[in-house]
Amino acid sequence: MSISSIQKLTVSISGHVRSKCYSLGKWLRGSPKLMKWFYPPEKVVTPAEKYREVNVNYFSDLHTQERMLADQQRMAFYHEAIRRKIKPGDRVIDLGTGTGILAAFASRQGAGKVYAVDHSSIIEHAKMLAAENGIENVEFEDVHSSKLYLDEKVDVILHEQIGDFLFDEAMVPNVCDLRDRLLKPGGLILPSDFEFYCEPMTMHDDRREPYIWELNDVYGFDFSSMEARRPYDAEYNGLVSCDLGVVKQFLGVAEPLLEIDLNSITESSLSQNVIFKRKVIKPGILDGLVVFMKAKVDDDLELSSSPLDPNRAPHWGFRILRLDQVQAEAGDELEITMSVKDWIDPETWRWACRRIRTEW
């Protein structure tokens, strides 16, 4: 048989097979029972599982760990907290050990045993680093903390599960789970006290970014029709920044919107609708709200991500929740409403602000 006849035959057979496969596929799609057998339904992934996957990938990356290790405010805060609070002989869980640095601090402080748990592959480096640095009493557990089972309860849960928006690294559910299962009564959670802030603020004039529909003359080009297509989702309206050149001032006196005590909090005790007021003391344009956090160990040992704190821990971002700009005068009152479906997921946050002219 000549080569060209073989080619023709091959083309004709493969065309025949393809058409049969197509008919089979069509027939299967018309029969739900058979369809399930051939193509098992995709596993339903919950938001928590999805987040876990993102977290594992994010923290497996060496550069993510480098950014945290390079944050000197963060490192000094944890080093000092561990020096003050971990007692010789303490049994400790280091929740989310990463490179194992906090476990090493605890071990050097005299902890009897540290269970260092992490669900990302960074733990393989942590094991080697501990051995290379002569850290001996740390037991590494490469599981998600909810799958950590121990034969004993511990004196201390040590953790750095602090997201840019405080809650978004699942700190509350992760710590609560370990607290309820594996912490001795009266045991220590380090750190346990947090403040969540959401402050009305003014941006620096040269950093203010108008909404696109406010631009009606960009060298003669008009964007104002975009207002009809204004997006209302939190991803568009909530900007994330580490850029300290953006926020010029808070309009009022900063006060925590939520105070969190991990010793007593439960996931369901977090309020989902919060209304609060701020008296304007520094007049200026209200550009939005800025979200940041504070962690507290002692009165003189705090960690802050406030964009206006010169000692802020630099690697944490802060979030700007944009608002339609209004001029706020001293004495005005701003009433802010936040409604939140899930604190872990900032995309579910919604916010609004009402200016009340009290002295006009």
Ligand X SMILES: C[S@@+](CC[C@H](N)C(=O)[O-])C[C@H]1O[C@@H](n2cnc3c(N)ncnc32)[C@H](O)[C@@H]1O
Closest of 133, 112, 76 to residue 184, by C-alpha: 112
- Residue 144 interacts with ligand X (CB under 6 A): yes or no: yes
> Of the residues 141, 169, 195, 199, which is catalytic?
169
CB of 341 to ligand X, least distance (A): 21
User: Helices 47-60 and 62-70, interaxial angle, to 10°?
Assistant: 80
- How far is 97 from 168, CA to CA, in rounded Å? 18
Q: Which residues pair with 293 in a beta bridge?
A: 196
Stretch that binds ligand X, among 112-120, 186-194, 264-272, 298-306 (CB under 6 A): 112-120
- Residue 98 interacts with ligand X (CB under 6 A): yes or no: yes
- Residue 122 interacts with ligand X (CB under 6 A): yes or no: yes
Among the listed residues 71, 90, 118, 345, the single contact to ligand X using CB under 6 A:
118
C-alpha neighbours within 13 Å on the C-beta side of residue 134: 1
Judged by beta carbon, residue 174 or residue 202, the one nearer ligand X is 174
- Residue 191 interacts with ligand X (CB under 6 A): yes or no: no
Which two three-digit tokens encode residue 110?
């005299």
The residue nearest ligand X at its CB is 96
Instruction: Measure CA 50 to chain center.
Output: 13
- Residue 171 interacts with ligand X (CB under 6 A): yes or no: no
User: Helices 62-70 and 122-132, interaxial angle, to 10°?
Assistant: 60
Clarify whether 160 is annotated catalytic: yes
Stretch that binds ligand X, among 118-126, 131-139, 189-197, 293-301 (CB under 6 A): 118-126
Subset of residues 53 to 92 that bind ligand X, contact rule: CB under 6 A: 55, 59, 68
Task: Catalogue the E-assigned strands of 204-267.
Answer: 238-241, 247-250, 258-261
Clarify whether 124 is annotated catalytic: no
- Residue 312 interacts with ligand X (CB under 6 A): yes or no: no
R_g over Cα of the chain: 27
# binding residues, ligand X (CB under 6 A): 19
**Backbone dihedral angles phi then psi of residue 5, each to the nearest 5 degrees:** -70, -40
Instruction: Measure CA 315 to chain center.
Output: 13
> Of the residues 49, 136, 160, 335, which is catalytic?
160
Judged by beta carbon, residue 140 or residue 351, the one nearer ligand X is 140
Catalytic residues: 160, 169
Per CB under 6 A, residues contacting ligand X are 55, 59, 68, 96-99, 101-102, 117-120, 122, 144-145, 160-161, 174
